[in-house]
Structure 1
Amino acid sequence: MGERNGREDEAERLVGEHYADVLRYCRRHAPAGLAEDAAQETFLRFVRARSRYRERGRVRAYLVTIARNVCADMVRDRASSWAELPEALPGGGDPGEADDRRDLASALARLPRAQREALELRYGEDLTVGEVGAALGMSRFAAARALSSALEALRADLGIQGEKDREV
């Protein structure tokens, strides 16, 4: 009974620490209205597979990988497509800043989905390049190449001159 309570405590701790991150990811990728269900399913799958999980990295990266699969399953089940980024982002402040955000959102929307996902995982979810690769089912090298290509395409699309990324 002590082992069971320990596992339950660990599960509660993980949910408390990572639920907001997983839910934020699911809100962007799950079919409309199903983000909470996707987040819950993510944690259920994690708990079921916990014995197979090896502490080789951050738990959050593993949870985002599970969330990605859950959302993809939900999308397939609903036979709908992945949500595209909006053409216009809500803005306040400087109108030039709003135009810049719209331009960036449009440029991001024109990227191939794999590159857009790689950017989101790397910069939006703050995963390492290796964790991005694992989440997308590719090598670290392939993830770095996808990130580099995406950033290069964004620069070209937005007309930004700059030096190459030292570290993706």
Structure 2
Amino acid sequence: MLYSQESSGTREAEPGTLATAVALFAAIGAAANLVGLLILAFGFFGDPGHYDNSLAVSTALGTLLLVFALGYGAVLTLRGDEDGRFTVLVAAGVWTAVGIAGLLAALFGYESEYGIHWAEQGGVGVDIATSTAGLVGTVTAMVHGEWLPNLTGLALPVAISVLAALSARRSR
């Protein structure tokens, strides 16, 4: 069982090990997205002409949504609520889907013809570090088109998705 049971069969508020891991990784994901949002905000307001406005706004809104969804899902999961794991699963699944799209675009050499203005490439090491900053990092890796930063940006959302899927499957 995912949650510990008393001998009378009632559910306690204490989550099991897997549910605690889901909540922990979801909280880490929320923190990474918050860091990415701050990086985007300081970069955008510092030099608004450097960033594509529509992509920056949609990325910021998506990141803000992920911060709340992952954070709220982590709290619900720790409280023993089944909805928390599904909230985390959907949020991490969307984040993973964006990362997979970026990885596929990088692997197939797709380049946008729209001339998107975004953060400058700082080399592979800097791009790998940036790619771990939530959805903002995932979008940055996607715009830069390098496969390794796109792959490293997928590590956290995939881990969260797998843990949430395993815990949802186990609770049945």
Q: TM-score, normalised by structure 2?
A: 0.31
Which protein is richer in strand relative to its size?
2
What TM-score, normalized by structure 1, do the two folds share?
A: 0.31
